[in-house]
Each structure stands twice: as structure tokens, then as C-alpha cells.
């Protein structure tokens, strides 16, 4: 069920966005097609008709350039969601999203204004258990976070016709806007639209970024770079290695941004906002609005990553789990479909190494006779190739390279 994670390597590889063969269609035609009564996008019963052609439906939806927000605004999905979004009964949120259980676990909040040894210790503990934590007093002004989130909201709430002009999956220019970045890979679609942006090493040409989010996403990218450096310092120190170790490995230099919009979903128990996955990179830096829905898996429980005003969510990715020889944990997380009228907005920045030909594996400082390496070494190019050939599944990177 695990699908391509949002916004990791996709950026510079043309293979990243498995787009079906182009079929020229005018906007209006696309819209007519999706709205025609013969389209099973209007079919919402759990039982697909015998002649149900899922790929055709998916493609029609993509060609319509509506995204889920446009589908909702078109009036097509105000009470029920099309079949392409229905996840199989055994793979739906359980228990239903409206009755989230209380759990004994929680995602730690680390106050970065505490003395450094305390911060390092708390980040180490969170990273080696839940794999997620939130940081406060991090130096990024609240209004900068709000500006970023509000810009993403404003873009998604533009009239559908204006957004359609930006709708495409290819990342050749370093920016895309589409629904479900994994639309053609996943078995069931989810209820979100996403702007993806290559953030580093080379951000896109500003004129290729939709104007409504242009300044804000570029500014956010700079904030994340500053914050990321501090963060990598804490994470390195927690491992007992030189403070600059992860930074020197270029772990911050390959960044991708995914700005997600999760509108109201009329049937949130049939689908997801984003299905369960781990992030393949080093660390992810994420801001979210007040709506909530992000959950992290702790044992068999799904624990809410509660929105905290001004806080920034950090999670460990697969590469850092490997580099740390399993001291840090890359943990599965997901987003429930949004049952509220207020949309959920989040902006994730995936920090990856930029060095694709160097060898990555457990840090030699962390390996000894008593603590053997859990992984073999690999290059990012190798990983990317396997990743896009879909040779890997589940906790892709960690399982594949595990010794
Ligand atoms: O929207 C969120 O809160 C989570 C996003 C996420 O996990 C991802 O993009 O990989
Ligand atoms: Fe993620």
C-alpha cells in the first residue's frame, strides 16, 4: 500500500513523475469528460461496476486538472467521493477518523531555548524512539510560518481556472502543482493537492513559481536552511559525533518542498489525506496549520502530531536511520482525510544529501566490533535507480540495504 513518498528525489529525475502517455485535451474538454454522466467519477458506491476501468478514471481526473479542491468546488463531490479515492476496506483508517483514540504515547516538544545539553538529549531521545518531535523557540518568527501556510492556502483557494494554468506533474522547471503526486503509482488516491518545489541546491527560476506563493516559499526555504543547520548540529551531537558531521556530508543541500492542501473530505473514513509511509531522506522539517490529521505510528497505535502554534515538526528519514546505524528511527506516518470544513495545510521540506555519488552508510564512528554496521554502503544514485524501478517496497531504503 506504500506509495511513492511525496517530494523526495522526484525533483531532478524525469522518471519521478510517472506520467501516462500524453493525450492532448483542451481544458474544457477535460472538464466535460470528467463531468459526463458516463464517468464513474460520479460513481461512489463501494462496488465498482463490472466495466470499471480505474486507470481511465484516474487519467480523466488528472486531465481535468481540477485536483481534489476543484472537484469539491465543482459540486461533484460535496457528499461523496469518487471510487478512485476508496481505499480497500482492510486498509482504511481504523478506528474511523472521527473517533480518534486517546493514546499513551505523544510526540515530544523540545524547547530550543533550554541549555544545549538538554536540547541535544531531548532530541536524541525523541529521534531514537518516536522518530518525530516538535520544536519551539527555534528562532523562526510565528508570522513567517503563518505567511508561508497562508500563501499555500490562498493559492489552493484561487478559482479553479487560475490553478489549472499551473497544474502539471513534470519537475523539469523545478516546480509542479498537481493532485496526489503518486496518483499513477498508488492503488487508491488520497484527498490532497500538492505544490512541489525543488528548494536546493538550485531553487527554480522565481517566475516559474506561482505568484501567490513565490516570495513565501523562497523565504521559507531560506528559513529551513538556517534552522536545518542548527538541527543537524543537535542530531550529530546526540550521536556523539562532531557537530558539523551531518552538514559536511551535504545532508542539507538537496532539499525538496511539498506544500500540501487537504480540503474538507465528505467521506473521510473511506480514504486518506496521505497514506502511511516513511520519508526516505535525512530529516523533514514541517509546518502545519491548526487543523491536524498527521499521525505517527508508535507500536500498533497511531498518535496525533497535535498542531502547536508556532511549533515546527521534525522527523527522521530513512537515510538518517541508516547513517546513525539505527540509533535514530525513521517512523511511518500518515495524514487522515480532513473531516472539517476548514482545510488542512502543511509545508514539508525534505532534506537530502546532494552528493549522489559518494558512499552513504552507518558512520564509521558509530560502528565497532561490539556494534557492527546494520547496513551496507550505497550511493544515492543507486538508491534512486532502485526506487524508481519500484524494486523496493515498504520501508524501502532501510530494508534493502540492511545487512
Ligand atoms: O502533511 C503532513 O503533515 C505530512 C506530509 C508528509 O508526511 C510528507 O509529505 O511526506
Ligand atoms: Fe512524510
What are the pocket residues of ligand 1 if the criterion is a CB atom closer than 6 Å to any ligand atom?
Answer: 5-6, 258, 260, 274, 279, 286, 288, 294, 333, 335, 346, 348
* Confidence grade of residue 32 (pLDDT, cut at 50, 70, 90): very low
Question: Which of 184, 156, 161, 166 lies closest to 69, judged by CA?
Answer: 156
| pLDDT score recorded for residue 10 | 32
Please state, in angstroms and rounded to a whole number, the distance separating the CA atoms of residues 217 and 208.
12
Output the pLDDT for position 101: 56
**Candidate from 199, 285, 307, 348 with most ligand 1 atoms within 8 A of CB, to mutate:** 348
Mean pLDDT of 18-26: 35
Residue nearest to atom 1 of ligand 1 (CA): 346
Q: Which ligand is nearest to the CA of 273?
A: 1
Is the per-residue pLDDT at 339 higher than 70?
A: yes
Q: How far apart are CA 314 and CA 312, in angstroms?
A: 7
**Atom nearest to 294 CA in ligand 1:** 3
Q: How confident is the model at residue 396 (pLDDT cuts 50, 70, 90)?
A: low
Q: How confident is the model at residue 353 (pLDDT cuts 50, 70, 90)?
A: very high
CA of 128 to the centre of ligand 2 (A): 17
Mean pLDDT of the chain: 87
What per-residue confidence (pLDDT) applies to 398?
83
5, 283, 286: residue to mutate for ligand 1 pocket, most atoms within 8 A of CB: 286
Residue 325 clears pLDDT 90, i.e. is over it: yes
d(CA 315, ligand 2 centre) in Å: 8
Ligand nearest to the CA of 258: 1
pLDDT higher at 35 or 317: 317
Map out the domains of the chain with their CATH numbers: 25-86 (no CATH), 99-401 (2.60.120.330)
* pLDDT value of position 9: 37
- Which residues are placed with Cβ below 5 angstroms of ligand 2, an ion? 279
Q: Of 3, 272, 274, 330, which is best to mutate to test ligand 1, by the most ligand atoms within 8 angstroms of its C-beta?
A: 274
What residue owns the CA closest to ligand 1's atom 9? 6
Span 247-264, pLDDT tens digits: 999 999 999 999 999 999
Question: Which residues are within 8 A (CB) of 43 and not within 5 positions of it... i.e. 6 or more apart?
Answer: 49, 52, 82, 83
CA of 396 relative to ligand 2 center, distance in Å:
14
Atom of ligand 1 nearest to the CA of 334: 7
Question: Of residues 21 and 162, which shows the higher confidence score?
Answer: 162
Task: Please check the confidence at residue 12 and state whether its pLDDT lies above 60.
Answer: no
| Residue 356 pLDDT greater than 90, yes or no | no
260: left (phi over 0), alpha (psi -120 to 50) or beta: beta
Give the mean model confidence (pLDDT) for residues 118-126. Answer: 98
What percentage of the chain has pLDDT greater than the value 70?
Answer: 83
Please give the residue that has the higher pLDDT: either 345 or 37: 345
- Give, rounded to a whole angstrom, the gap between the first and last alpha carbons of the chain: 25
pLDDT at 241 over 60: yes
Whether 364 and 357 have beta carbons less than 8 Å apart is answered as no
Amino acid at each position: 500500500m506504500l506509495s511513492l513518498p511525496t517530494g523526495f528525489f522526484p525533483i531532478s529525475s524525469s522518471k519521478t513523475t510517472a506520467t501516462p502517455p500524453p493525450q492532448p485535451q483542451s481544458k474544457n474538454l477535460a472538464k466535460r469528460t470528467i463531468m459526463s454522466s458516463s464517468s464513474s467519477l460520479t460513481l461512489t458506491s463501494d462496488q465498482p461496476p463490472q466495466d470499471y476501468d480505474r486507470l481511465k478514471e484516474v487519467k480523466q481526473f488528472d486531465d481535468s486538472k481540477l485536483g481534489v479542491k476543484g472537484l469539491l468546488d465543482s459540486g461533484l463531490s460535496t457528499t461523496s467521493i469518487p471510487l478512485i479515492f476508496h481505499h480497500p476496506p482492510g486498509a482504511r483508517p481504523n478506528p474511523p477518523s472521527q473517533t480518534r483514540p486517546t493514546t499513551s504515547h505523544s510526540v515530544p516538544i523540545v524547547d530550543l531555548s533550554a541549555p544545549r545539553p538538554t536540547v541535544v538529549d531531548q532530541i536524541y531521545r525523541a529521534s531514537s524512539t518516536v522518530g518525530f518531535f516538535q520544536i519551539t523557540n527555534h528562532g523562526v518568527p510565528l508570522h513567517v510560518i503563518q505567511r508561508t501556510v497562508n500563501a499555500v492556502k490562498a493559492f489552493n483557494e484561487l478559482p479553479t481556472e487560475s490553478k489549472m494554468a499551473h497544474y502539471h506533474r513534470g519537475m523539469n522547471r523545478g516546480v509542479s502543482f498537481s493532485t496526489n503526486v503518486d496518483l499513477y503509482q498508488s492503488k487508491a488516491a488520497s484527498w490532497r493537492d500538492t505544490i512541489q518545489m525543488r528548494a536546493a541546491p538550485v531553487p527554480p527560476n522565481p517566475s516559474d513559481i506561482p505568484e501567490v506563493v513565490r516570495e513565501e516559499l523562497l523565504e521559507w526555504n531560506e528559513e529551513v536552511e538556517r534552522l536545518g543547520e542548527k538541527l543537524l548540529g543537535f542530531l550529530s551531537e546526540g550521536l556523539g559525533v562532531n557537530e558539523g558531521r551531518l552538514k559536511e556530508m551535504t545532508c542539507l543541500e538537496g532539499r525538496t518542498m511539498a506544500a500540501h492542501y487537504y480540503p474538507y473530505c465528505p467521506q473521510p473514513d473511506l480514504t486518506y489525506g496521505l497514506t502511511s509511509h516513511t520519508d526516505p531522506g535525512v530529516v523533514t522539517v514541517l509546518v502545519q496549520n491548526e487543523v491536524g490529521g498527521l499521525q505517527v505510528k508508535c507500536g500498533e497505535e497511531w498518535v496525533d502530531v497535535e498542531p502547536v502554534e508556532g511549533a515546527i515538526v521534525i522527523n527522521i528519514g530513512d537515510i538518517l536511520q541508516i547513517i546513525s546505524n539505527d540509533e535514530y528511527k525513521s517512523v511511518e506516518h500518515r495524514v487522515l482525510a480532513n473531516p472539517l470544513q476548514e482545510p488542512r495545510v502543511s509545508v514539508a521540506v525534505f532534506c537530502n544529501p546532494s552528493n549522489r555519488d559518494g558512499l552513504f552508510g552507518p558512520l564509521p564512528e558509530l560502528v565497532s566490533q561490539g556494534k557492527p554496521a546494520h547496513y551496507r554502503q550505497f550511493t544515492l544514485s543507486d538508491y534512486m535507480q532502485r526506487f524508481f524501478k519500484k524494486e523496493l517496497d515498504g520501508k524501502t531504503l532501510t530494508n534493502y540495504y540492511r545487512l
